[in-house]
Amino acid sequence: MFKPLVLLALAFTALALLLWISSQAPPQTAPPVSTPPPQFPVIKLATLELLNPLEPALPMAFPVALYSTSAAVATADMKTAYAANVQVAGVDEEDYVKFDGERLYVAVNGKVYVVDKNLRLLETLDCPSPHCYIFAWGGRVLAIGEVGGNTLLYLYDSSRKVAVYNFTGYPIAARMHNGEVYIAAASPPRVVINGREVNEAPLLSLDFHPNVLIIAGVDLRSPNFNATAYVAGPAAKIYMRENRLYVVTSLGIPDLLYKAVKAVWEDLPGEVRERLDLTNPLTLYVTLREALKNNTSVVEVLNRANITTATRVYIFEGEGPYLRLKAAAEVPGRVLDQFAIEEIDGGFLLATTVAPVKFRVSPLWIPAAPPEIIISQDGVPVAVIRRAITPLSPSIWTSEGEPVNAVYIFDENGNLKGSLTGLAPGERIYAARLVKNVLYLVTFRQVDPLFAIDISNPERPRVLGYLKIPGFSEYLHPVGEGRLLGVGAYQSGVKISLFDASNPAAPREVSNITISNAYTPVFYDHHAFSYNPEAELAFIPYTPYLGGLRILFIEVGSKLRVRAERDLPADRAFFDKDAVYLVGGNRVWKLSYSLEVVGEAVLK
């Protein structure tokens, strides 16, 4: 008699299991929020207004639902167009110019111009904004722009627009691997993705100025789209290898306060502990500010926690447009740029500059009393209205002490394997580059120390050697076995240095070229630098202090030698087999390898 009951129970169990499995599968539509890992609480985005109630909301035109068509991708041409200089081979990065070996794609003045190697215009596509980034793969072009505080995407198959997507926020960075594009964007707390409002999101990290991180994916092969919202700190930097996306954000004041309060909890006065809500950094920050109205000395206790600047890295794994948050890790310090993030042997490393943090409290602000409102009748007052004064909670800010630098190495699940701390006290990282098992770091205060760090044993990274020279390098580029090219500042100009690192224990500068009274966009944009290893030729644009843009070609042999200097306003270079293509704004030049101009086109 129990058999039917057993079968019924088994059926319900199977149904529950199927429902659970389906809930774990990637959604087939474009839901703006997915299930977060259990260690990250989900909060209502409206509550972020409690962080800074005096900060006005940004004026925004909220996006509406747009369209997408499913068009088969032609398989005859799966060429990938790349930026002039990328960090990871096979992973393209956001930029306004791309080259696939046959065609140049140039996004300028609200258009995408497709040009062949003879500088003939093949196609003109619309950009979503006057300034946009592009990706090109398999005959498809994705144009990414920002309009009225929203990120807007146009996807083209040849010259036909096949999809349009948008979401609130402005794009920070993007990557593409094998036709899959992932975009990181920063949005105010009110988030709309393709016309659908997002009301809650996982709380990853928090800052005084509320920020929502949008991670969007576009599969150029389908085309499918997905986007997910997370509450995260500002200044996100990203790194990608194959289908793994690393997103790095600095911890803001609410996160640092949360760490400090937990560290000194038992030392806090009982009446203060009763008022604090440790549910998450947001609730703690709001209740702590209220508690500080009556006892600002609490900050002295918090400063005993010896908190430092800190960073979190989030590791996503992607399949098509869908990204799953796989792991997270936290390190002391801040990451300079994407080159301070690298994947190694199934794990990853971060190079950071760490500074001690002290909390400060502004005086309690009591607004001036508003004027009385007097209502009179025939000149005789009949009512006097006095509005109450509401003191505002004290503001909490931080000051930072002398920095020091560190390297942290993790396994693929975000578990710390090894670290190297205490590097170059009083200095900060200006450049980083991983070459095989050696990480090169440039720090600076008065001279330029180039550190060579052995990471072949991830559990025990060690300094092999270092070199101190005047100036400092903002960008490092490998130029052959055991050699590095550094581009940086020197006095009031630019210095290009060739380093011999064949013996990492004793790196040395073997040659340099300086340009006085100038700077180069390579300082802040590595896409402006190009290098052809076969020709041993480097391209570096520079700007004299009086204005304009000029270019320099440098031969990288046993010594550095100026091959050519031209008065051409180009900031991108692509080396083909028998020609060099330069792009600057809406102008394109074709050069022979004798570096003479053999063709020019104006895109309009």
In angstroms, rounded to a whole number, what is the distance separating the alpha carbons of residues 572 and 107? Answer: 13
The confidence score (pLDDT) of residue 463 equals 96
588 falls in which pLDDT band (50, 70, 90)?
very high
Quick check: is 203 in a domain? yes
Eight-state DSSP code of residue 80: B
Label residue 56 by pLDDT band (50, 70, 90).
very low
Amino acid (1-letter code) at residue 498: L
Task: Kindly indicate the confidence band of residue 596, based on its pLDDT and cuts at 50, 70 and 90.
Answer: very high
Whether 137 maps to a domain, the answer reads yes
Single-letter residue type at 404? V
User: Minimal CA–CA distance to 407: which of 484, 342, 358?
Assistant: 342
In a domain, 441, yes or no: no
**Residue 453 belongs to a domain:** no
Identify whether the C-beta of residue 121 lies closer than 8 Å to the C-beta of residue 601: yes
Percent of the chain topping pLDDT 70: 87
| Count, residues in the chain | 604
Beta bridge partners of 498: 485, 511
Q: How far is CA 589 from CA 536, 544, 573, 579, 601, in A?
A: 21, 21, 9, 10, 7
Q: With bands split at pLDDT 50, 70 and 90, how would you rate the model's confidence at 418?
A: very high
> How many domains does one find in the chain?
1
pLDDT at 11: 40
Cis peptide, bond prior to residue 223, ω within 30 of zero: yes
Burial class (CB in 10 A: 0-12, 13-18, 19+), 464: middle
Q: Looking at the domain assignment, is residue 158 inside a domain? A: yes
- Does residue 267 lie within any of the structural domains? no
> How far, rounded to the nearest angstrom, does the alpha carbon of residue 429 sit from its chain's CA centroid?
17
Q: How far apart are CA 226 and CA 323, in angstroms?
A: 8
- Residue 426 located in a structural domain: no
| Measured distance CA(334)–CA(252) in Å, rounded | 11
Confidence of residue 292 (pLDDT cuts 50, 70, 90): confident
Contact yes or no for 164/66 (Cβ under 8 A): yes
Write out the residue range of the structural domain in which residue 90 sits: 30-96+131-251+310-332
What the block records as the tokens of 295 is 């006892």
Residue 24 has pLDDT above 60, yes or no: no
pTM of the model: 0.86
Q: Taking residues 494-521, what's their average pLDDT? A: 95
Q: Is there a domain that residue 221 lies in?
A: yes
Task: Determine which of 164-178, 238-252, 358-372, 388-402 has the lowest per-residue pLDDT on average.
Answer: 358-372
